[in-house]
Chain A
């Protein structure tokens, strides 16, 4: 890139330098994004919330972040021949991005686009111009674009350690501001931590002192980590082996203790998020057997979740004549068996189908189960649209699911609620699931699945019984879904057919692929990312799924192999890479000969 920027002006002296074009291009892209953000209504929606109380509102900050990112990327992409050029590139890109907003405001004054785009109201223009009128406001916009662009370029040009530290600090302030409700809510569970909350936050956003504190701590922390982190690691590595073992085991014990104390430490809301993650994790483990191990694409996995939930509901709810088992622990095994059986039965007709034919038929199965659940036809047995209520909790003896008060050392009194108790049931289910899945994976059966995944015909030729192996994958995978559904039904104490749409299947599939198909740690990471994320994104309100979709795309683009791919997959990935190389070597061919 640098080579081009130097050689081009030589060839054609009058031509615009490449870096200028680059800055222009990036600035325009950034500008379009800024305009779209404004037209999406985010500025108005977020304006009521402050990042730093009384100083910067979230609505304006998204626009500023856009300028910053535009200028930063522009500077980074151009390769920067000299610091001066870098500064110009940054400032130019930021300026052009800001200019796009000014153009939007100007257009908005002439044509009323509010009839089409609901957020293009005078209020928006008012906010964008910082409530300073058109001329002064527009100038302020341009200046802020210029300034932020310049700042971004300066940060880019700083030495790596400082740059990273500054970026971490900025991101930390942003996150603490964005997730203020979450941080506040989590910390305020404990009386002892209330002063910290009071120090960090006012009623709306970070306080000034809090902002500085967060920034300083993260800048210093990141700086030390990048300058001294490697040193610490090497010191640990240099420790004598017994000491290292002690360190390792301390870590393990600490991890187990933390896992056990998690619901108390995380508080009510985050524990509930973890509960949801756990329920999806169980489903992910099951679907991972079908898709990840055996390579059978299943788009209707939600069916087994529904079957598990409904089995428990029908068997335990006192609303129904069939509600004869009043104990969840006795009903849950039925849910697993019903799901397993359904998995095998639904597996038979699709034994011959491959790839996308399999995908659409399984999708169909998922829909059929949902439609039957909602139908008037089955209403006498399972409630139809009205669902099933009053499903019991998994209480045993003294372990009842009611709110109790805990008195903790240091942290003081804190309530302990049913959602926090469910954590133990769910984590138990997940540990069981992880154990079973990882044992099966390395068993003879697991290897047979992987053989089928790689090549069905070869696997069969090697003497693998396709029918039994595939049906076992479907059945075992479904059983996990059934258990997950049984826990879900008890946790929300009700079952409604509306809960079992296609999007659940899509979500579970996404999480195992995002995590790295076939990898069990991958499923855990994927579940945390994809189920935890929308919960954290509650902070962005109505834009939750907009961000969710964007993040899903970006994550897959950045790491197509998944966050934690399994070892075998990683090896396989070399193969497509090779294809890519060969494709790029064909570039000259493509360039010289056009179409026949």
Chain B
């Protein structure tokens, strides 16, 4: 009996020691006021007259101690087949942190996050982990629309956070009937991009027939259905609506199927792996030697050009208009390749992630969002931050001039159509100048096979 008593006593003593030590360690509020550490412009801080800050924000505040970092979380897919996409967005956002000098409001930025696994249940687990961490100020994510659907109720509705997605394209997420406040995206709504592609094919190329291929992803399937709707409205005929599976290699059978109906164009807005297989195999299929090919921003990358080889000559993409921001983009790619030692570019959304991070950082620095105490403690007001992001207007990002609409769509609606030239192909790069943009001058047909 004695031994047990001893054990219990010891444990009690240990816990008491711990609590005592904890009580003795200085709480940040009680710390003597020292000079503000950061050299941050005063405009960002409200007058810190009252020593005690009381949070009046509707969604509450995140308090950041004088030496604590500003914690921004990501929710990307960093495992499995889609991890290319996830690491790409993660790198893009990290580069934005680097470019900000790793600091905002005089505090270092802590940028870490969770794997959403490109699934609804993975998204929910990741979002819950982020939600449980009370230091998180804002979220960059998700990559996959399915993960977003499961994350939004937790992060936006339960937790009152704001999230900017660099890669969700599903129209449902910003549909006025379904949009949840606090959710934003710098990626393009499939609705816009699919419509531009259909408009280009029917009014510029003046094609009457087209075939489509999707890969069973929410992105591709969504784009294809918007394209089909618009193309048919414009009087075009969709000869085949085909689909492949992620992981398929042999595309010739499905292309043979399309060849039987002899469409003028094949629209396949999918990702690099399967898109590359289609591009590299399409000319081997009798009947498709001269069919025009078109894709979307998912394959607007040098990797696709490498995978497709010489068949990419004359290829069309719909993609955000990088032309106006060319130099910024090139510099970003250069930094990207240097830092991550990646030959070529991973996936299409790193620039969107870069912009998303910058939008969050800019919003944090807007007046009235963050209250800074004299000792350097920050109080981030969640509703104010949400409002500041929503008020983003003419933000000069790499992917365009970003302006958020009431439903959270912040992407520059300027989608343009690009075409691969022989020169670009030789260099293995994507074209830098669009050949057509909605409302712009007509496309002058070149390089049509």
Binding site for B on A (CB under 8 A): 114-115, 118-119, 121, 181, 184-186, 188-189, 195-196, 198-199, 202-204, 209, 213, 216-217, 220-221, 224-225, 228, 231-232, 235, 267-269, 272-273, 276, 371, 374-376, 384-387, 389, 403, 417-419, 488, 491-499, 535, 538, 541-542, 544-545
With the chains together, A11 CA to B340 CA distance in Å? 56
Contact A213 B78 (CB under 8 A): no
With the chains together, A51 CA to B125 CA distance in Å? 25
Interface residues of B in 105-149 (CB under 8 A from A): 110, 112, 114-115, 118-121, 123-125, 128-129, 131-134, 146, 149
Contact B221 A189 (CB under 8 A): no
User: With A376-B241, A384-B221 known to touch, is A492 a contact of B22 (CB < 8 Å)?
Assistant: no
User: Could you say which residues of chain A place their CB within 8 Å of the CB of B65?
Assistant: 203
For residue B79, CB closer than 8 A to chain A, the reply is yes
Contact A495 B221 (CB under 8 A): no
Interface-located stretch among B3-11, B44-52, B254-262, B322-330: B3-11
Q: Which residue of B lies closest to A415 (CB)?
A: B158
With the chains together, A221 CA to B11 CA distance in Å? 8
User: With A114-B341, A496-B146 known to touch, is A491 a contact of B221 (CB < 8 Å)?
Assistant: no
Contact A498 B124 (CB under 8 A): no
Contact B150 A494 (CB under 8 A): yes
Interface string of B10-28 (1 = CB under 8 A from A): 1100100111011101010
Interface-located stretch among B211-219, B385-393, B400-408, B413-421: B211-219
With the chains together, A213 CA to B78 CA distance in Å? 35
Contact B4 A232 (CB under 8 A): yes
Question: Would you list 28 pairs from A and B whose C-beta atoms are within 8 A, ordered by A residue?
Answer: A114-B341, A115-B343, A118-B340, A118-B342, A189-B132, A195-B25, A198-B25, A198-B27, A199-B18, A199-B25, A203-B69, A217-B14, A221-B11, A224-B10, A235-B1, A376-B241, A385-B220, A386-B170, A386-B221, A389-B149, A419-B128, A492-B121, A496-B218, A498-B118, A499-B119, A499-B120, A499-B146, A541-B112
User: Could you say which residues of chain B place their CB within 8 Å of the CB of A232?
Assistant: 3-4, 7
Interface residues of B in 141-171 (CB under 8 A from A): 146, 149-150, 153-154, 158, 170
Interface string of B287-298 (1 = CB under 8 A from A): 000000000000
Contact B79 A196 (CB under 8 A): no
With the chains together, A403 CA to B157 CA distance in Å? 9
The distance from the CB of A243 to the nearest CB of chain B, in whole angstroms, is: 12
With the chains together, A232 CA to B341 CA distance in Å? 58
With the chains together, A499 CA to B149 CA distance in Å? 13
User: With A268-B128, A499-B119 known to touch, is A235 a contact of B4 (CB < 8 Å)?
Assistant: yes
With the chains together, A495 CA to B119 CA distance in Å? 9
With the chains together, A285 CA to B178 CA distance in Å? 37
User: Could you say which residues of chain A place their CB within 8 Å of the CB of B134?
Assistant: 185, 188
Please tell me the number of chain B residues within 8 Å of chain A, measured between CB atoms.
64
- Give chain B's interface secondary structure class: helix
With the chains together, A195 CA to B29 CA distance in Å? 12
Contact A272 B128 (CB under 8 A): yes
- Give chain A's interface secondary structure class: helix
Q: Which residue of B lies closest to A184 (CB)?
A: B133
With the chains together, A267 CA to B133 CA distance in Å? 11
| Further 6 A-B residue pairs, CB within 8 A, beyond A203-B69, A385-B217 | A224-B7, A269-B131, A269-B132, A387-B218, A499-B121, A541-B112
Interface residues of B in 228-248 (CB under 8 A from A): 241, 243, 245
With the chains together, A176 CA to B241 CA distance in Å? 54
User: Could you say which residues of chain A place their CB within 8 Å of the CB of B269?
Assistant: none
With the chains together, A189 CA to B65 CA distance in Å? 18
Contact A195 B19 (CB under 8 A): yes
Contact B241 A220 (CB under 8 A): no
Contact B21 A389 (CB under 8 A): no
For residue B362, CB closer than 8 A to chain A, the reply is no
User: With A203-B67, A213-B18, A488-B121 known to touch, is A544 a contact of B128 (CB < 8 Å)?
Assistant: no
User: With A228-B6, A494-B146, A496-B119 known to touch, is A403 a contact of B21 (CB < 8 Å)?
Assistant: no
Contact A493 B153 (CB under 8 A): yes
Q: Which of A186, A375, A493, A544 contacts B115 (CB 8 A)?
A: A544
